[in-house]
Structure 1
Amino acid sequence: MEQLSLSSHSLSDTLDPTVSKVRAKHQFDIDDDWDANVEHNLNQVVQKSIENKVSPEDLLRKVPSTPSTKTPASSSNPNLDLYQTSSLSSTTSKNGLKLQYEKIIKDPSNSLNAIALPQMSSPIEPDVSSRINRISKFKKMLHASNINMNDLKKLAWSGIPYEIRPMAWQLLLGYIPPNAERRVATLARKRKEYLDGVSQVFGSGLDQTMWHQISIDVPRTNPHIKLYGFYATQRAMERILYLWAIRHPASGYVQGINDLATPFFQTFLSAYIEVDPEVYDPGNLPKEVLDVVEADTYWCLTKLLDGIQDNYIHAQPGIQRQVAELKDLTQRIDNKLAKHLQEESVEFMQFSFRWMNCLLMREVSVKNTIRMWDTYMAEGPNGFSEFHVYVCAAFLVKWSSKIQQMDFQEIMMFLQALPTKEWGEKDVELLLSEAYMWQSLFKNAIAHLR
């Protein structure tokens, strides 16, 4: 694949003499209204060890645990982190990069070959067995010469194993074709197009107003996660957001789009490393790897935003419509809650605008967002718009009993800082299941609002 000589470490700083000054000036200029409301616990939790003290992660990678290494058990936090962070397997280089990264760059299906599923002679825990079975199903499906997208959506709805997710997301969003013969050429062409686009827009003078806002927002993005504080990450985010904004003049850059890029960046980064991406410095990557992570993030962000672009154009009619739908749904699902909000003069726009604009990313962790997006993508073209409203309804109704005991000020403060810090994957899956139930009951009833 042809590579352009764009330095990820110096490009944005050399574009304009004021860029570095603007970035430094606003590094700590935090706008509380747009900043994250809750900080999520970054302490990583691994799965319970089984009888022979081998972690599920080691089992899946065929990495034997050393006698001195014990996997701590944790039953208090259901958000189990499966990334290996202490000792790397023999399939990685010393900086955590997968040795087969060049093959994965060429065709993401090559990553499937590196997932080793052991044959167990002794019983293993049900959650480990279930995970192995799901990975096997995905691998079989994605190895097909022509992938059945309906079957992929059905399987993905209940969650995608993180090893499979980068390729699955690219397929579900239509970024790469289901036909294996077309995949390599399509990826090479789209990635080159991204690099050419970056070279062009940054070589023709900056839109200072747009660049100024992006340079302010990027350092604010997920400040509680190490990944987004690294220099290489922030410069990559700037390029992604600026190119998208220039190519979409109807909306340009709008606050909140920076958040939507992060699940893609984090997920596609994970395809090339064997450690938790939330603590990894992309500056350790070879340039060709960072280039493809950037390009894939850009194109998948574009695919997502193509379906919800009316959320970001003038007057944001998409968000206006979604808020109206949420109000109508709440009245149907929980009329007592709706009446209480009305009596306390709480307008739905006051608290749910951000839920629509940022797809609840300010309310739940990035890892939980990623799990939600598995289902959103499986829902098809309306996952991030129509189904998201039902998720917001289930999210609001969840707190109904507490909210009904509060006055206006208490309600607003509560909804601005919801107690989701300890949420794990099971909490998200329950929310998605409830949203699906409401969608099944009320989808046709609110269709007249569109």
Structure 2
Amino acid sequence: MEGSRNPENDKTSFWKKNSKTVPGRPSPKKDVKSTIKPKMAGTTSFQDFQASVSDAWAIDDDDFCIISGLESTKISKKVSQSAALNVLNSHRNTTDIPVTSNEKHETVSTVEVDPVRNNRIPGRPQQLRCLNPPQDEDSESKLERFESVLANPPSLQELCKLSWSGIPIKVRAITWRLLSGYLPINLERRNGVLERKRQDYWSLVEKYYYAEHDETNRDIQHQINIDVPRMNPSIPLFQQKTVQIMFERILFIWSIRHPASGYVQGINDLVTPFYVVFLQEFILDNQAFETFNIDKLTQEQLKIIEADSFWCLSKFLDGIQDNYVFAQVGIQRKVHQLEELIKRVDEQLHRHLKQHNVSYLQFSFRWLNNLLTRELPLRCTIRLWDTYLAENDCFASFQLYVCASFLLYWKDDLMRQNDFQGLLLLLQNLPTQSWSSSQISILVAEAYKLKVMFADAPNHLQSNTGDS
């Protein structure tokens, strides 16, 4: 009876199976049609949760995720719905921020949002009610230190050291350009290099984006057109048509220039931090970027934001290119390394996950593929990337320790979950919506401790022949 089931027709099953496609790549053979039905505001179901996180892979891309021993696992629809409701309601009750009467009349730091769109979106962090909260890295003393360093050609080592603990908004854009290697350290060369690189990008757009596409490029463009509109659905900025068109161009040109990987689902999320940082250069009076009307900017300003976002994304991804090549072998290797690391630093948590048949691949693939952009509010992601860029060439390995410290942060919550459904739903829907830069500072500090702990043990991430 088990062998007679057809996975293609089982759209409500917890895992989807197929043996023909590659994870994260668009499938040219099938167009996946959305089967999500409209629901009333305030309701949450397991199917809603499943649909909201399914875009980490295409519908037919999950065969490589089949875990030995789980093929025959049957999950009752009734049980899974009940587990989903319990977990999500628990998170909502413990993390929602109450709104006082004074806050209801506040017009500077809050915006009116469609109540349906403002509902908790499973699998994505809800944005803070205060859209422009003060950040630890924006202190006057730290800004003065940055301005002093940037006034002359800075030492890259000195700039990395200063940036590791966070970069003030006012100087973040120029610092990110320097740390990513896009902007030269030499002051005299900067204007010339920026002008040339920006012109190079727009030449690529004219040559490839507006040209007639072959079948492969049409498939890539089709997948990009699907992914971009559903990117950051809780932030009004990214629902603006002008912004979406800019993202489509960036992603298409990136895929053309990187034929070994092409476009992989999830890369669209990696553009957003760069885009926001370069946008903030042109936002006056400390306005919140989340609700900024992009059409207020001039065409020249928009072209600068788009070109700089493209080049910095390209530089940033060069260090983790193997994450996005065929079969995404880089991510699969890091998932295994994460498991080995957790087994060494917290065997109790590791055994708890294994006891309930939770595979690290089932939750950490998205962490590594999207660099935690789906797990954290965007402002927190930007603060985290201050440290990532400051790590420079060591970023790829440091990211692994960040994921490990992120998992360990939730140990107490995870240990309270006593079944597969509860554990996986918690891991896919971690309550980070109230996080600020303070939590990110703790996260990277714990990651640094792990890095130092194993710095002299180069074999600690090697595969073991024994069973976990």
Q: Tell me the residue number matched to 1:188.
A: 195
1:263-313, CA deviations, whole angstroms, 9 ceiling, x for partnerless residues? 000000101111222211222211111001000000000011111110010
Whole-Å Cα distance in 1 between the matches of residues 346 and 96 of structure 2?
32
Provide structure 2 residue ranges, at least 5 long, that are not aligned to the other structure. 1-32, 38-47, 57-87, 100-107, 109-127, 463-468
Match of 2:161 among 132, 154, 162: 154
> Which secondary structure state, in structure 2, belongs to the residue aligned with residue 252 of structure 1?
coil
Whole-Å Cα distance in 1 between the matches of residues 377 and 400 of structure 2?
19
Instruction: Count residues with an aligned counterpart.
Output: 352
Kept in 2: contact 1:78–1:425 (CA 8 A): no
> Which secondary structure state, in structure 2, belongs to the residue aligned with residue 364 of structure 1?
coil
Q: Tell me the residue number matched to 2:53.
A: 33
Q: Tell me the residue number matched to 1:109.
A: none
Q: Does 1:135 align with 2:143?
A: yes
Kept in 2: contact 1:269–1:293 (CA 8 A): yes
Match of 2:171 among 144, 164, 175: 164
TM-score normalised by the chain length of structure 1: 0.73
Q: Tell me the residue number matched to 2:402.
A: 391
Q: Tell me the residue number matched to 1:301.
A: 313
Q: Tell me the residue number matched to 2:415.
A: 404
The residue type equivalent to 2:316 in the other structure is L
Match of 1:81 among 128, 133, 137: 133
Q: Tell me the residue number matched to 1:244.
A: 254
1:228-269, CA deviations, whole angstroms, 9 ceiling, x for partnerless residues? 011110000000000001111110000100000000000001
Whole-Å Cα distance in 1 between the matches of residues 353 and 455 of structure 2?
23
Kept in 2: contact 1:231–1:283 (CA 8 A): no
1:204-228, CA deviations, whole angstroms, 9 ceiling, x for partnerless residues? 2132100010000000110100110
Kept in 2: contact 1:79–1:424 (CA 8 A): no
Q: Tell me the residue number matched to 2:335.
A: 323
Provide structure 1 residue ranges, at least 5 long, that are not aligned to the other structure. 1-24, 45-54, 56-75, 84-126
Kept in 2: contact 1:77–1:424 (CA 8 A): no
Whole-Å Cα distance in 2 between the matches of residues 149 and 41 of structure 1?
41
Kept in 1: contact 2:341–2:460 (CA 8 A): no
CA 1:300/1:268 → structure 2, altered by over 3 Å: closer, same or farther?
same
Q: Does 1:220 align with 2:225?
A: no
Kept in 1: contact 2:208–2:253 (CA 8 A): yes
Whole-Å Cα distance in 1 between the matches of residues 129 and 238 of structure 2?
24
Deviates more, 1:196-205 or 1:257-266: 196-205
Whole-Å Cα distance in 1 between the matches of residues 461 and 148 of structure 2?
42
Match of 2:432 among 403, 420, 430: 420
Kept in 2: contact 1:328–1:446 (CA 8 A): no
CA RMSD of the aligned region, Å?
Answer: 3.0
Kept in 2: contact 1:355–1:392 (CA 8 A): yes
How far residue 202 of structure 1 moved from its aligned partner, in angstroms, is 2.0
Kept in 1: contact 2:131–2:290 (CA 8 A): no
How far residue 447 of structure 1 moved from its aligned partner, in angstroms, is 4.6
Whole-Å Cα distance in 1 between the matches of residues 210 and 257 of structure 2?
15
Q: What does residue range 274-289 of structure 1 map to in structure 2 within 5 Å?
A: 274=284, 275-289=287-301
How far residue 399 of structure 1 moved from its aligned partner, in angstroms, is 1.4
Whole-Å Cα distance in 1 between the matches of residues 324 and 406 of structure 2?
23
CA 1:375/1:142 → structure 2, altered by over 3 Å: closer, same or farther?
same
The residue type equivalent to 1:171 in the other structure is L
Q: Tell me the residue number matched to 2:83.
A: none
Whole-Å Cα distance in 2 between the matches of residues 447 and 162 of structure 1?
39
The residue type equivalent to 1:134 in the other structure is K
CA 1:139/1:287 → structure 2, altered by over 3 Å: closer, same or farther?
same
Whole-Å Cα distance in 2 between the matches of residues 253 and 362 of structure 1?
18
TM-score normalised by the chain length of structure 2: 0.70
Q: Does 1:264 align with 2:271?
A: no
Whole-Å Cα distance in 2 between the matches of residues 273 and 261 of structure 1?
19
Whole-Å Cα distance in 2 between the matches of residues 371 and 159 of structure 1?
6
> Which secondary structure state, in structure 2, belongs to the residue aligned with residue 254 of structure 1?
coil
Q: Does 1:209 align with 2:219?
A: yes
How far residue 203 of structure 1 moved from its aligned partner, in angstroms, is 3.1
Whole-Å Cα distance in 1 between the matches of residues 363 and 458 of structure 2?
21
Kept in 1: contact 2:283–2:289 (CA 8 A): yes
How far residue 403 of structure 1 moved from its aligned partner, in angstroms, is 1.4
> Which secondary structure state, in structure 2, belongs to the residue aligned with residue 32 of structure 1?
helix
1:295-349, CA deviations, whole angstroms, 9 ceiling, x for partnerless residues? 0000000011111110010111110121111111101111100111111111111
Whole-Å Cα distance in 2 between the matches of residues 371 and 418 of structure 1?
18
How far residue 356 of structure 1 moved from its aligned partner, in angstroms, is 0.2
Kept in 2: contact 1:390–1:435 (CA 8 A): yes
Q: Tell me the residue number matched to 2:348.
A: 336
> Which secondary structure state, in structure 2, belongs to the residue aligned with residue 176 of structure 1?
coil
> Which secondary structure state, in structure 2, belongs to the residue aligned with residue 237 of structure 1?
helix
Q: Identity of paired residues, percent?
A: 43
The residue type equivalent to 2:147 in the other structure is K
1:323-381, CA deviations, whole angstroms, 9 ceiling, x for partnerless residues? 11111110111110011111111111111000000001111011000000001111111
The residue type equivalent to 2:139 in the other structure is R
CA 1:78/1:232 → structure 2, altered by over 3 Å: closer, same or farther?
closer
> Which secondary structure state, in structure 2, belongs to the residue aligned with residue 174 of structure 1?
coil
Whole-Å Cα distance in 2 between the matches of residues 262 and 358 of structure 1?
11
Q: Tell me the residue number matched to 1:273.
A: 283
Whole-Å Cα distance in 2 between the matches of residues 43 and 296 of structure 1?
39
The residue type equivalent to 1:386 in the other structure is S
How far residue 43 of structure 1 moved from its aligned partner, in angstroms, is 11
How far residue 448 of structure 1 moved from its aligned partner, in angstroms, is 6.0
How far residue 446 of structure 1 moved from its aligned partner, in angstroms, is 4.9
